[in-house]
């Protein structure tokens, strides 16, 4: 009996010190973080998801959806503002109440600050992603008050998860996608910030017939654009445009893995591209993998990526649906879902990041830290 107790204690100590070593090694992947916080500690809703973030003339604004659970009719769009260094309590700014009094869930808010203009809030209303429609609200005071909701023209959804990008030709390109008849990526373009619209796409799925949604746009300058998107094909996929988004190459896989979960990306002022995603390769029999850890990689050309950050890593998942922006002071801001219980905000000084090359899609091992194996975490839903 004593020998069994002794063996159990030895095994427990091995796991304990192994976990501590992994945790200590993780800190080496978090250099450059200058602020790490929850948007709120307590809220009137139990579940939350899908972050978006914008810098306004009066400060940062953060949006997400919250309610009983995703797809539930009581899910609404909530806003928090960074006011004098503190986040305001989440306030509902949009819901799915219909004219007949019935309710539908809201989905995937996207914030965009018009230069010297309004703050736009795009979101979706509908019973499910294959049957939702696009909505838009506007604020002239940094998110304190909002206009009545506008329904976008029939067939238009607005940016589906990730932020629009204002191109040098004056067009605001909104990366979007549909899920009703297979997964397809297209673009909705406006030259007057949402008053009139036109479509480009869908993008061809390529020889491998790739299924992708939720693209983000990287601007390489002089009309050269790149998208990175979530897929059902075990990899982040990409497409390129050389004419300001009017035509696009067929989708193709990148070397980076994808767990069928959302990503986001931004081009910094110095031309460096930043990608936030779950660096998780799911098993061969299922394209959906765990939504942890949450990683950040950077690139100069959009092809060769360097590992720079691990924002979260825990067997208690999930850390997902991220957003990233660069503010006027040069700092990077990341927003994301924390276990579907809270919303997170992390600020990073990009000058402090250390780059380590990602070779053949494998996250580099540093000081004993390795990414979790496929068996460590279970796959996530939705």
248-292 pLDDT per residue, tens: 999 999 999 999 999 999 999 999 999 999 999 999 999 999 999
- Per-residue confidence at 320, pLDDT binned at 50, 70, 90? very high
Whether the CB-CB separation of 366 and 28 falls below 8 Å is answered with: yes
pLDDT at 105 over 80: yes
Q: Report which secondary-structure segment, H or E, holds 344.
A: strand 342-348
Q: Report cis status (omega within 30 of 0) of the bond before 202.
A: yes
Q: Assess whether pLDDT exceeds 50 at residue 88.
A: yes
3-state secondary structure of 236: coil
For residue 317, the model assigns a pLDDT of 84
Which residues form the domain of 110?
A: 47-151
What digits encode the pLDDT tens for the residues 191-240?
999 999 999 999 999 999 999 999 999 999 999 999 999 999 999 999 99
- pLDDT bin (cut points 50, 70, 90) of residue 13 is very low
pLDDT for the residue numbered 39: 98
Confidence of residue 3 (pLDDT cuts 50, 70, 90): low
In the chain, how many domains are there? 1
Per DSSP, the three-state class of 152 is coil
Mean per-residue pLDDT for 95-115? 98
Quick check: is 28 in a domain?
no
Is the CB of residue 287 less than 8 Å from the CB of residue 281?
no
Query: Using an 8 Å Cβ cutoff, are 264 and 273 in contact?
Result: no
Residue 73 within a domain: yes
pLDDT band, very low/low/confident/very high, at 43 (cuts 50, 70, 90): very high
Give the CATH number, domain containing residue 57.
2.115.10.20
Q: What is the pLDDT of residue 28?
A: 85
369 band by pLDDT with thresholds 50, 70 and 90: confident
Instruction: Indicate the pLDDT class of residue 366, thresholds 50, 70 and 90.
Output: confident
Average pLDDT, the chain: 92
- Give the pairing type, strands 119-125 and 133-139: antiparallel
> Does 95 reside within a domain?
yes
Residue 78 lies in a domain: yes
Mean pLDDT of 10-22: 45
Within a domain: residue 184? no
* Lowest model confidence (mean pLDDT) among 69-78, 233-242, 293-302, 365-374: 365-374
pLDDT band, very low/low/confident/very high, at 375 (cuts 50, 70, 90): very low
Token pair, residue 362, equals: 């494998």
Let me know how long the chain is: 382
Whether 92 is covered by a domain: the verdict is yes
151 Cβ neighbours under 8 A, 6+ residues apart: 133, 134, 135, 136
Q: How confident is the model at residue 4 (pLDDT cuts 50, 70, 90)?
A: low
Cβ neighbourhood burial of 246 (10 Å; 0-12, 13-18, 19+)? middle
With a pLDDT cut of 70, the percent of the chain lying above it is 91
Predicted confidence at residue 23, as pLDDT, reads 61
Peptide bond into 293 cis (omega under 30): yes
In a domain, 81, yes or no: yes
CA pair distance 234, 39, nearest whole angstrom: 32
Choose among 72, 132, 79, 151: nearest CA to 105.
Answer: 72
What is the tens place of the pLDDT at every residue in 118-149?
999 999 999 999 999 999 999 999 999 999 99
Cα–chain center distance at 99: 32
Residue 327 CB neighbours (<10 A)? 14
User: What is the reported pLDDT for 22?
Assistant: 56
pLDDT digits (tens, 9 = 90+) for 55-86: 999 999 999 999 999 999 999 999 999 999 99
Task: Decide: 142 and 79 in contact? Cβ < 8 Å.
Answer: no
Asked whether the beta carbons of 138 and 121 are under 8 A apart, the reply is yes
């Amino acid at each position: 009996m004593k020998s069994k107790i002794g063996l159990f204690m030895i095994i427990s100590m091995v796991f304990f010190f192994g976990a501590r070593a992994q945790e200590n090694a993780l800190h080496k992947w978090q250099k450059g973080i200058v602020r790490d916080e929850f948007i709120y500690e307590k809220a009137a809703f139990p579940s939350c998801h899908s972050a978006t973030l914008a810098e306004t003339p009066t400060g940062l604004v953060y949006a997400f959806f919250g309610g009983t659970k995703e797809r539930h009719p009581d899910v609404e769009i909530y806003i928090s503002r960074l006011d004098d260094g503190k986040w305001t309590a989440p306030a509902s700014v949009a819901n799915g109440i219909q004219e007949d009094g019935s309710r539908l869930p809201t989905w995937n808010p996207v914030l965009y600050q018009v230069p010297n203009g309004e703050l736009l809030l795009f979101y979706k209303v509908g019973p499910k992603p294959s049957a939702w429609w696009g909505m838009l609200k506007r604020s002239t005071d940094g998110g304190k008050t909002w206009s009545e909701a506008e329904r976008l023209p029939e067939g238009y959804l607005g940016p589906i998860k990730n932020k629009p990008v204002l191109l040098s030709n004056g067009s605001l390109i909104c990366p979007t996608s549909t899920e009703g008849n297979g997964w397809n990526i297209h673009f909705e373009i406006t030259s007057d910030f949402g008053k009139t619209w036109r479509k480009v796409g869908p993008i061809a799925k390529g020889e491998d017939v790739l299924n992708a949604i939720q693209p983000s746009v990287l601007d390489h300058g002089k009309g050269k654009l790149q998208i990175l998107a979530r897929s059902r094909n075990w990899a982040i996929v990409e497409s390129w445009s050389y004419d300001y988004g009017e035509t696009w190459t067929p989708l193709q896989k990148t070397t980076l893995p994808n767990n069928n979960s959302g990503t986001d990306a931004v081009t910094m002022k110095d031309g460096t591209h930043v990608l936030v995603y779950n660096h998780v390769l799911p098993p061969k029999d299922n394209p959906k993998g765990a939504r942890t850890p949450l990683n950040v990689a950077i690139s100069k050309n959009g092809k060769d990526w360097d590992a720079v950050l691990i924002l979260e890593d825990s067997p208690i998942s999930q850390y997902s649906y991220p957003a990233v922006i660069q503010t006027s002071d040069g700092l990077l801001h990341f927003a994301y879902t924390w276990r579907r219980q809270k919303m997170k905000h992390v600020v990073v000084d990009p000058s402090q990041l250390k780059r380590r090359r990602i070779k053949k899609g494998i996250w580099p091992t540093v000081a004993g830290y390795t990414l979790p194996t496929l068996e460590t975490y279970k796959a996530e839903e939705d």
